[in-house]
Amino acid sequence: MTSKEIFLVPYAHLDTQWRWEFPTTIRKYIRNTLEQNFALFDKYPEHEFNFTGALRYAMMKEYYPAHYETLKKLIAENRWHLAGTSLDETDALTPSVESMIRNILYGDQWFQQEFGKSSRDYMIPDCFGFPANMPSVLAHCGIHGFSSQKLTWNSAVGIPFELGMWKGPDEKEVVCALNPGPYVSRILLPVHLNPARLKQLNTLGKKNGIWKSFQYYGVGDIGGAPTEGSVKRALGSIKHGAQKGTALTVRQGTPDQFFAEVTEAEKQRMDRYSGDLLLINHSAGTLTSAAIMKRWNRKNEQLAFAAEAAALTAHIVAQVPYPEDKIESAWYRVIGSQMHDILPGTCTPTAYEYSHNDEVIALKTWTTIIHDAAQAIAPFVPGEGTVLLYNPLGETRQDLVEINLPIPSDFGEKAITLVDTDGNTIPVQIHDYEGGQKTAIFIPKLPPFSWKRYSIEFNSKTTEEEILNPVRIDRNEDGFILENSYYKILITQAGQIFSIFHKEMQKELLKKPLAYEFQKEHPKVFPAWNMDWKDRKKPPFLRIETGDEVSIIEDGPLRCILQITTHINSSVFLKEISLSHESDIIKFTERISWRELGCSLKLALTGDFTQPQVTYNW
């Protein structure tokens, strides 16, 4: 007789913020999750329950200490399960790989410190898609299983399998349950008699000979507990399956347990999938909604790396204490703000008052750590210069730097030069004078993970005389020419960017002028952050290639900036095109006062080149 098994995962999904804010989550939803499950545990000793997110457990510990002691006993008895191995159920598309790893690392550490145990599964039932590199990240973190029900929300590639192997770009794999049923689901029939649940089991069994099915049941999005009726029927089916001679076994437990029991032979027989798992209708708008959260999140990720490298250098070189607690606290705030509704931009405006604070506090923390490290490291950096630069990257970097220098207002027409400890001179371009200081622009070159001093010198030469092949901007009757050793950019008097010529390749890069394109957006639901596929397939209703005013913002040998001002309906667009000396990067900066309704905007770049293979998100 073939052994068949339905594995139930009793679970309550809680959006830490969504249509409510942290105070409501703490005051109401966290408490309900504890008390409603405690009642079920008292009445049904065999009841089991899964709950994710170390940050939510931290709320329980801080605000409900008496309940927390009861919770610890239930966890020790393997009745209440720690699921997901994370600080919170994160967004998967916007955070960096470093953030994903930290989410798992800190979640695991917190569970181990508090309860002496953790899990090895990753559980994100509700998210807006998953990148192709995710299985590789999970596998390298020691995660052996992943589950989500979100692909039923119109996946771009369908649901690759019920239970199978998701393969990353480095061939690392994790077992995945990609159709476990909705987390908001009641058990209305005994599981062993439920046609839908039996069909799910039989589909996989007939296909691959794997007679196992992974199925959620429970509640959401406000936490709580499975209904009493669901618990009774689940336990009844478990008892029925335990009888001798029964081919179908019904069990319940934690996802970690299920994935750990999948054999190597079963893994070999499973279907495999490589690539992104994205949604068509329920995700596109989340990549741009609440854009300031995306900006601050990325700034935090970048500053975190720089701060940790600086702090470690200061600890090694100057023997100052490593600020481990500050770093961990800041990361908790950043990762907490990456929760799958907060960072994607689907929360209430009030919710973002809390999340904006967390982002800014983290930014200030990283800045303070870098400043403190610089003060500690400075005495050990050779030389006597007053300018100290830091390259936090693991590669040599030559890039434009802009700083304020304390230069007397009567320094006249002299050129300013920075000199490093090896005697190399770096020309400086002066941009503005304000409050007794000059904004100085220069392009230094620093080795990986390095600190370097520069002294300020004055000489009689002009900056232009110091620089070979300076960047320049010229104006003629046809318009403007922005040019350096790599590019020649042509812009009409009306602000149309119609040519970007690459000198080294002798190649025109534009097929059409750059343009703003407007597209109608009329989603049926969630208009603050949703985009419907039917709207995405339509052409733009408006394309603007020109502006109303073109002005030269900066004209120097190291950097030139041209600004194009455009008024469209009630909105104002300020586009800056910046080209630097000996740089192969053209920098476009957009400052937009957006006043439009029912439409989206994109900057359309139609390139005059082909590339048969393009890789995204890997």
The string of pLDDT tens digits covering residues 146-155 is 999 999 998 9
Structural domains of the chain, ranges and CATH numbers in brackets: 4-282 (3.20.110.10), 288-380 (1.20.1270.50), 393-466 (2.60.40.1180), 472-604 (2.70.98.30)
What whole-number percentage of the chain has pLDDT above 70? 96
Confidence (pLDDT) at 613: 76
Give pairs for 476-482: CB < 8 Å, separation 24+: 479/550, 480/550, 480/552, 480/562, 482/560, 482/562, 482/577, 482/579
* Residue 617 predicted with pLDDT over 70: no
pLDDT category at 233 given cuts 50, 70, 90 is very high
> Edge to edge, what strands does the sheet with 145-147 contain?
121-123, 145-147, 173-177, 163-167, 271-274
**Residue written as token pair 């199978």:** 164
Confidence (pLDDT) at 466: 67
Mean pLDDT, the chain, rounded, equals: 93
pLDDT category at 462 given cuts 50, 70, 90 is low
> E strands of 524-581, at which residues?
542-544, 549-555, 559-568, 571-580
Q: What is the pLDDT of residues 107-144, one digit of tens each?
A: 999 999 999 999 999 999 999 999 999 999 999 999 99
Higher pLDDT, 62 or 285: 62
Confidence (pLDDT) at 257: 97
- Section 371-381 average pLDDT: 97
* Residue 465 predicted with pLDDT over 70: no
- Residue 532, phi then psi, degrees to nearest 5: -85, 145
- Contact at 8 Å (CB) between 270 and 26? no
- Section 226-246 average pLDDT: 90
pLDDT category at 464 given cuts 50, 70, 90 is low
- Section 516-538 average pLDDT: 89
Confidence (pLDDT) at 51: 99
- Section 35-45 average pLDDT: 99
| 218/416 Cα distance (integer angstroms) | 68
97-106, 289-298, 312-321, 406-415, range with the lowest pLDDT:
406-415
If you compute the radius of gyration of the chain from its CA atoms, what whole number of angstroms results?
Answer: 29
Q: What is the pLDDT of residues 83-93, one digit of tens each?
A: 999 999 999 99
* Residue 408 predicted with pLDDT over 90: no
| 3/9 Cα distance (integer angstroms) | 20
- Section 459-485 average pLDDT: 84
